[in-house]
């Protein structure tokens, strides 16, 4: 499989819409706001999509669909993450809690769990939030291991101090 980069084709946008039950038809998937990569199988069907929306100058929001694992080789992921971190300081992936396959995929790629946003997807569905910094990315030179995120130490509430 040979990856392609550029403006995401309509059939890939349709696949994203079907996969995530979100309407991607209004997204233009054009640079510089979007970075998109995809691969097709031998029949010409989409085998995988890796799209990043740069909602903020420092943060790219990742959307991934993998129908054939062969489209996500280390070489391809190195190219994708190199391009992504040339523009962003961090990447964010939001995954619905019931989507076990996607949860495993983002964890395998090196994204770190950061928390949960209730009704964070279109105001109707919960999402688990994952983040990646350049140093967390095992596909780039200089990788030294994942960043360990410590649990925050919160001040005691009035109730906790009284008991």
Residue-range domain boundaries for the chain: 3-162
| Strands 90-95, 112-121: pairing kind | unpaired
- In tens, the pLDDT along 106-150 reads 999 999 999 999 988 888 889 999 999 999 999 999 888 777 666
Candidate CATH numbers 3.60.21.10, 3.40.630.30, 3.30.1310.10, 3.90.1300.10; the one for domain 3-162: 3.40.630.30
pLDDT-derived band at 93, boundaries 50, 70, 90 = very high
Specify the residue for token string 């991934």: 64
Beta-ladder partners of 94:
129
Q: Residue 76: which of 116, 48, 43, 52 has the closest Cα? A: 48
With beta carbons less than 8 A apart as the criterion, state whether 34 and 80 touch.
Answer: no
Which three-class secondary structure state does DSSP give residue 42? coil
Task: Give the chain's mean pLDDT.
Answer: 89
């Amino acid at each position: 499989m040979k990856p392609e980069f550029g403006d995401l084709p309509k059939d890939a946008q349709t696949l994203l819409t079907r996969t995530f039950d979100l309407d991607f038809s209004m997204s233009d998937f054009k640079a510089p706001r979007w970075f998109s990569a995809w691969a097709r199988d031998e029949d010409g069907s989409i085998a995988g999509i890796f799209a990043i929306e740069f909602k903020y100058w420092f943060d790219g929001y990742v959307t991934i669909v993998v129908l054939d694992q062969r489209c996500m080789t280390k070489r391809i992921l190195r190219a994708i993450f190199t391009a992504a971190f040339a523009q962003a300081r961090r990447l964010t992936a939001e995954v619905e809690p019931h989507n076990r396959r996607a949860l495993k995929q983002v964890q395998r790629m090196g994204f770190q769990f950061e928390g949960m946003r209730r009704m964070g997807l279109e105001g109707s569905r919960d999402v688990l939030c994952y983040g990646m910094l350049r140093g967390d990315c095992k596909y780039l030179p200089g990788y030294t291991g994942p960043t360990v995120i410590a649990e925050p130490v919160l001040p005691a509430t009035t109730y906790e101090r009284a008991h």
